[in-house]
Amino acid sequence: MATKVAIIASNGGLFDAYKVFNIATAAAATDSEVAIFFTFEGLNLIHKQAYQQLPMPAGKEHFEEGFKAAKVPSIPELANMAQEMGVKIIACQMTMDVMNLKKEDFIDGIDVGGAVTFLDFAQDANVTLTF
């Protein structure tokens, strides 16, 4: 039986995105079954426009050159990699309703669901993380 990794992404910054997608792709690379539940500001990480321009945290601008030098993939590239590796991406329906967002506002291939959708996956997860 494969390891299950359940991730909640509720923060929308650049470093948050790297944490979420790095863990998700690493877990998927080890044949784990992975689901990420994006809620509140975390929806920025999969929003068609927002995920292309996530802000560098204040005072951390010097990391920009480091990311380039280390050839770290962009967030859109990492999101695409995650999906290609079978990571399940779930956008929170309630948050979308509150923020007046539609499925079309997000990258292709996502699921939309409520907390119960995520809990169904997470109830027997071996690892649960929140970012």
Cβ atoms < 10 Å from Cβ of 124: 9
Q: Is the pLDDT of residue 1 over 70?
A: no
> Distance between CA 67 and CA 75 in Å, rounded?
11
Half-sphere exposure in the Cβ direction for 21 (13 Å, CA):
24
Task: Supply 49's token pair.
Answer: 């426009």
Mean residue pLDDT across the chain: 95
Per-residue pLDDT tens digits for 43-93: 999 999 999 999 888 899 889 889 989 999 999 999 999 999 999 999 999
How many CA atoms are closer than 13 Å to the CA of 47, on its beta-carbon side? 24
For the four alpha carbons of 17, 22, 23 and 29, in that order, the dihedral sign comes to positive
pLDDT of 55 reads: 86
Mean pLDDT of the region 14-26: 96
pTM of the entire structure? 0.95
Q: Is the pLDDT of residue 105 over 90?
A: yes
How many residues comprise the chain?
A: 131
